[in-house]
Structure 1
Amino acid sequence: MARTVSLPRTARSTARRRARRTLSVLAAAWLVLSLTPPPAHAALAEVYVALGDSAAAGPLVPNQIGPDYGCLRSDRNYPHLTARAIGASTLRDVTCSGAKTTDMYESQDTELGDVAPQLDALSQNTTLVTVQIGANDVGLTDFIEDCLNLLPPPIGDACNDDYNAGGQDQWRVATDALRPRLTALVSDIRARAPQARIFVVGYATYARQNGCYPRVPIIRADANYIRATLMYFNQMLAEQAASAGAGFIDLQTPSAGHDPCASPGVRWIEPYVPAAPAAPFHPNALGMRNFATIVTTAVTGAR
């Protein structure tokens, strides 16, 4: 028969204290583990929809892609490059050369057939939207080309006087008329994509102060008028984005010095006679790469 061994009183007290300490340590460890949050899951990849006109589409920038070939859309435009940079799970790039705000809602007629309304690309699972639109509504590209002047005054005529007849600047009038349409557009984007962060993208610098005649044949007064007009237009875009609760991405400020007057390899916007594959007064591949960096920084920093 086994004998029961009785510990001395002091030994029994020490054993009980050790047992209590062990239980206390285990309880504390359990409490810490129960209060520690589980490791955060990686952020879900973006479902990115790019809306806009030729400034976003990249006409003639290699490689032009389908299925909507009439949109003159490049696979090296800033939406594509941004999507890669942020690791988007899905890119729906429906930017289209010649697009106006009406083409967000209605089919757009291109030289190679109709394309669907751009807002049709939005869905409930869209998480990111960039929209660069409005220049064609007021005819800014035609305006710049209209100011080309192969012969300076007194033989050639300045164009800015034509747009200020009666003391009213018709470009500012057209720009202000666009304000409610842009606010409504952001609201309609949000209604179709309620989870999305929305960014309105501005336009780049198309004319530097005083121009660079004759390299770009726009005389000084007209270059300054174009510059002021674009600055006012971008200011309008920023104001309407803010009033609609959207972000605004400024391309004008960082593109200063990279306008059509700059030398090849420096400029982001091609002049009337391009030296790189791009439409006149539109971004080239270098411009698209830099715009993608700017857009990527904006959309990731705003998370």
Structure 2
Amino acid sequence: MSRRVLAMLAAVALLSAVSPPAQAAAQNDVYVALGDSAAAGPLIPNQVLPELGCWRSDRNYAHLTAQAIGARTLRDVTCSGAKTTHMYQSQNTDLGSVAPQLDAVTSDTTLVTVQIGANDVGLTGFIEDCLNLLPPPVGDACNDDYIVNGQDSWRVKTDALRPRLTQLAADIRARAPQARVFVVGYATYAPPNGCYPRVPIIKADANYIRATLQYFNQMLAEQAAAAGVGFIDLQTPSVGHDPCTAPGTRWIEPYVPASPATPFHPNALGMRGFAAVVTAAVSGA
């Protein structure tokens, strides 16, 4: 055996001796999950108390990730309808008010995931606005409704979120200096050209929704990098699992769900898929 190989083996042995495995480190995690309905999992069994108005599932990716990494504590405060303001202010739900999500981030926190911003720009409502039961020329495309004074209003609103997300990352770090922080992106909601009429969004609008979400996820990744925190891409791994695919394959339900989930939100299979991605990212795999 060459001296070079011996030296490499010795270095590996030394690193193994002084560096605990990622899984072992994760087992001491105090994990805080922040976010909106894409993270909460509305209608996915089982919905958890005491904040039932948040429509939070005990099978969302935060719960599954915490289980997978053996986290010591999980504080899941994700809440359907949440905006960036609800990181700092209480949120009114249909069943009562809930505390600001950042209250869950304390000095003992060692891991944070945050998936937020879609409600600030109204992305879910935007997708629903583009539903078109009748194709052109009877039905009307929606994509040109969002061009105002020559500017794409969704991109304008997306760009307006940039400083808020950078500040949010800084505020999380100030509250939990030892925490590993990850911004989580959003999934693929439309394949190229859509699948009209299975999902009643015409080709031009499906491509517009797709481009809009790609721009939004790009913004999230850029702001995470600017803030010096991690970014977890859910868009790429969810390709081929969009609402146009069959039950048992899709991770995001269409306008008429076939499994317990809110329209255009993750189902239980999707949460399992997202949990695998999140688990790998937070474990350093």
TM-score normalised by length of structure 1:
0.86
C-alpha separation in 2, matches of 1:242 and 1:199: 10
**Counterpart of 1:241?**
224
The 5 A counterparts of 1:169-208 are: 169-208=152-191
Question: Shift of residue 111 of structure 1?
Answer: 0.1
What is the Cα deviation at residue 164 of structure 1? 1.0
Per the alignment, residue 15 of structure 1 pairs with: none
- Mean Cα deviation higher: 131-140 or 40-49: 40-49
In the other structure, the counterpart of 1:29 is none
The match for 1:31 is none
Q: Distance in 2 between matches of 1:245 and 1:70?
A: 33
Q: Secondary structure at the match of 2:120?
A: helix
1:167 offset after TM fit, Å?
1.5
User: 2:245 maps to what in 1?
Assistant: 262
| Aligned twin of 1:85 | 68
SS at match of 1:91: strand
Structure 2 counterparts to residues 154-169 of structure 1, below 5 A: 154-169=137-152
Give distance in 1, aligned partners of 2:108 and 2:92. Answer: 28
Structure-2 separation of matches of 1:38 and 1:116: 41
Query: Which among 27, 44, 65 is matched to residue 48 of structure 2?
Result: 65
Render the CA deviation track for 1:182-239: whole Å, top value 9, x for unaligned. 0000000000111100000000000110000000000000000000000000000000
1:211 is aligned with what amino acid?
Answer: G
What letter is aligned with 1:163? Answer: Y
**Counterpart position of 1:124:** 107
Instruction: For 2:273, give the aligned amino acid.
Output: N
Q: How does 1:1-303 map onto structure 2 within 5 Å?
A: 43=25, 45-301=28-284
Computed over aligned residues only, the root mean square deviation of the Cα atoms, in angstroms, reads 1.4
Supply the AA of the counterpart residue of 1:236: M
Amino acid at match of 2:258: A
Structure 1 gaps, min length 5: 1-36
* Aligned residue type for 2:200: P
Letter in 2 for 1:117: P
- Please report how far the alpha carbon of residue 39 of structure 1 lies from its aligned counterpart in structure 2 after TM superposition: 10
SS class of match (1:301):
coil
CA distance in 1, matches of 2:177, 2:20: 24
Q: Give a deviation string over 1:81-105, Cα, whole Å, max 9, x none.
A: 0000000000000000000000000
Matched letter for residue 59 of structure 2: R
Aligned to 1:22: none
Deviation, structure 1 residue 45: 1.1
Structure of greater Rg: 1
- Unaligned residue ranges in structure 2 (runs of 5+): 1-16
For residues 173 and 49 of structure 2, what CA distance do their matches in structure 1 show? 27
Identity of aligned residues (%): 80
Partner SS, residue 276 of structure 1: coil
- Counting matched residue pairs gives 266
For residues 266 and 167 of structure 1, the distance between their equivalents in structure 2, rounded to whole angstroms, comes to 39
Query: C-alpha offsets along residues 40-66 of structure 1, whole Å, 9 cap, x if unaligned?
Result: 695361000000000000000000001
Output the CA distance in 2 between the equivalents of 1:38 and 1:271. 49
Between the aligned partners of 2:124 and 2:257, the Cα distance in structure 1 is 15
Please give the secondary structure, in 2, of the residue aligned with 1:64. Answer: coil
Provide the C-alpha distance between the structure 1 equivalents of 2:102 and 2:18, rounded to a whole number of angstroms.
38
Mapped to 2, the partners of 1:216 and 1:40 lie a distance apart of: 48
How far apart are residue 273 of structure 1 and its match? 0.2
